[in-house]
Amino acid sequence: MLLYRRGTEIRGYVNNCPHFGLPLNARANEFLLYGEGLIMCAHHSAVFRLVDGQCVAGLTSGERLEPVPVRLVGTEIFLADA
């Protein structure tokens, strides 16, 4: 799973690229942030928006990261009901 936090907004996603089902990172705990709010898959360079998980480059349209509902309470992060 990966988390993206911007101020009080937080998003969670399964760390699984929809292209080949590989983790987005190639090295433990190292992710390729690409521009503002974008993450690039380390394997074949697909790019996803972190605000909604939508793929914006590198794969066919409609591909997206699988969301994991999370919520921020103070400084703690919890799994939320879907």
Q: Which amino acid makes up residue 77? A: I
Residue 23 C-beta-side C-alpha neighbours within 13 Å: 10
Q: How far is the CB of 64 from ligand FES (least distance, A)?
A: 12
CB of 18 vs ligand FES, minimal distance in Å: 8
Closest to ligand FES by CB, 37 vs 58, is: 58
Looking up tokens 């190639």 gives 26
- What are the tokens at 34? 């690409």
Query: Exposed, middle or buried: residue 39 (CB in 10 Å: 0-12, 13-18, 19+)?
Result: buried
Residues that bind ligand FES (CB under 6 A): 17, 19-20, 22, 41, 43-44, 46, 58
Query: In terms of CB distance, is 35 or 71 closer to ligand FES?
Result: 35
Q: Nearer Cβ to ligand FES, position 8 or 60?
A: 60
